[in-house]
Amino acid sequence: GTAARRRLDEKHMALRSVVYKAVLQVADMDRGYYAEHPLVIARHPSETDERMMVRVLAFALNADEDLAFGRGLSTDDEPDLWRKDLTGAVDVWIEVGLPDEKWLRKACARAARVVLYAYGRTADAWWRQNQDKLAERNMQLQCNVQEGQAWMGNGGRDATLTPERLHPSL
């Protein structure tokens, strides 16, 4: 009962995130944004490389000097990425995956703007082709965005992605 649950909690807490470091160069012609971002990305033991790289892509597509990663999957009250204003209020809340509708409603109540990057079955073929090429412990990444299409590269290995907008911005 309680002792078994405590051992399970202790075992889960003992699992540590794997830290990835990346230097992400963003050239977003659509927004006129050009910058280099040194990133430290904590990948929770239950997170896949695919999900982590979608978080990096979401960062690149929304890059800003104030954009930051949340504390991750183990934290219930933070998004994958967010940007706060000078008062500490959440300006942009960014989620990756297929969160529960209640989670998105909570996000909408806490942020001026909420962005969801959903991925799933259509991403499987892309990931199988690229999984060994993109996620490394230390990365030098480039992301170019033009006309809604993103090109993500890592030292000669690259992928072109076209995010599909499922709901227009308000």
The answer, yes or no, to whether residue 99 has pLDDT greater than 70, is: yes
Residue 29 has pLDDT above 60, yes or no: yes
**Which of 77 and 121 is assigned the larger pLDDT?**
77
Banded pLDDT at 156 (limits 50, 70, 90) = confident
For 52-74, b/e burial (b = at least 16 CB within 10 A) is bbbbbbbbbbbbbeebebbebbe
Q: Angle, nearest 10°, between helix axes 49-61 and 121-134?
A: 90
Helix spans in 15-120 (H): 49-61, 101-110
pTM: 0.75
Confidence check: pLDDT of 5 > 80: no
